[in-house]
Structure 1
Amino acid sequence: MPASETPRLDRGDLLDGLRELIRSAHTERLTGVTIRIVGGAALRLAYFDRDTTLDIDAQIAPIDQLQPIIDRIATSRGWPADWLNNNAAMFLPSWGRRIDWETIFDDGDVSIEVAPIDALLAMKLLACRPGRDTPDITKLLALTDIRSLDTAEELFESFYPGEPLPDKAIRLLSRIFEIGLPPKPTAPPRLDLGGT
């Protein structure tokens, strides 16, 4: 499917897909299921309204047992095969400050968590894709009440020790602080992954 035809997922799609995954995991009697969500999907689900996303980047366990479920959901909904993918490991800080995951669903068999805003900001600053990450970074700065380059660097280095803040992030942050932060974004409605 050409990129222009790739379905984009809004918050309702994300919730519906996760609910279906939970139901299927229960039907197949899976236990110890953990999905840790990062990136745009985490922001959209838990923190603020934003553009749609192409996928959910996550750490998924047990991926071997969940992949057939993920594939079935993609096929039945006409979504990309990687609508829920196990690619988050490449984005996660690995030797800095520990990520304090926020649980959005846990029934004892299936646990779904999102990264907190401070970790998401550090990851967005690492990626710092021009234009694409700017709105998210600006909103995350407002939510964390970070108002200076020094404080942003401190946060970044706490998650990525020994790694300097990328030059493109420094330029972007300087511009954002020069303009000023927007008001804190309004949180989306409370998540409801129950009713499965």
Structure 2
Amino acid sequence: MPEVKLQRDEVMALLEELGAELAAREIDSPVQVIVFGGVYMLMQIGNRLSTHDVDIVPLAGSSDPQQETKRQKIFKQASNAVASRHGLPRNWINNDGALFVEEIIQKSELVRWKTFQMLEIWLPELACMLALKLTAFRPLQDLDDTLHLCQALNVTTAEEAQAILDRYVPASWQEENLVDETLMDLFG
């Protein structure tokens, strides 16, 4: 399958369709997800023209584990139905990074961004996104995003970036991900 490049309008239309698909499946309350990564940069910062997928962290909609499992299954079926109609890979909605970012995002203030029928999209704050980008830094993929986030937050020194990291990311994770080297590369 060729590489997917979803532009802003396409992402919006797909999310709208996913919300409608969830409504058609008679889910009892909106599915809530946090978006991050490339789609966040595309939609909130505007520094890129497209993204390969929609990175999400699902928010629990039920305290009952059985009910939550059912909701997750319905969500996956709905996203697969949208993928099938548009010739997209099944992972166009991607929660692969959820385990990595969930602990970091939980420290962020979340803002409800958009509601598409039975789909609610939440966003972490800008500083949290910078902490995520610095922690998972891949020079070829993340440099432009990281620089744009620094600019949006007026972060101009390694010390300012470190203060943001310390607010969200455990020291052991920073060490494992060689964040000090990333800060040296970015800020000299």
Q: Which has the higher helix share?
A: 2
Q: Work out whether residues 93 and 160 of structure 1, in 8 Å CA contact, stay in contact via their aligned partners in 2.
A: no
Mark the CA change 1:127 to 1:107 in structure 2 (over 3 Å): closer, same or farther.
closer
> What TM-score, normalized by structure 1, do the two folds share?
0.79
CA spacing shift, 1:65–1:133, aligned 2, 3 Å:
same
For these two proteins, the number of residue pairs brought into alignment is 175
Specify the alignment match of 1:134 in structure 2. 143
1:14 aligned partner: 11
Partner SS, residue 103 of structure 1: strand
The gaps in structure 2 that reach 5 residues or longer are 60-70
How many angstroms apart in 2 are the aligned matches of 1:65 and 1:96?
Answer: 24
Q: Which residue is equivalent to 2:162?
A: 153
Give the SS at the match of 1:58.
strand
Q: Which one-letter code corresponds to 1:33 in the other structure?
A: V
The answer to whether the aligner puts 1:111 opposite 2:120 as a matched pair is yes
User: Where does 1:1-196 land on structure 2 (aligned, <5 Å)?
Assistant: 1=1, 5-30=2-27, 31-60=29-58, 62-92=71-101, 94=103, 98-106=107-115, 109-163=118-172, 165=174, 169-177=179-187
Q: List 4+ stretches of structure 1 deviating above 6 A.
A: none
Structure 1 residues 95 and 19, CA, compared in 2 at 3 Å: closer, same or farther? closer
Cα RMSD, aligned residues only: 2.3
Gaps of 5+ in 1: 179-196
Using structure 2 for the length normalisation, give the TM-score: 0.82
In 1, Cα distance between the equivalents of 2:150 and 2:142? 12
Determine the C-alpha separation between the residues in 2 that align with 1:112 and 1:131: 28
Shift of 1:145: 0.9
Q: For the Cα contact (< 8 Å) 2:8–2:49, is it kept in 1?
A: no
Q: Contact 1:157 / 1:164 at 8 angstroms: preserved in 2?
A: no
Q: Secondary structure of 1:60's partner?
A: strand
Identity between Structure 1 and Structure 2 (%): 21
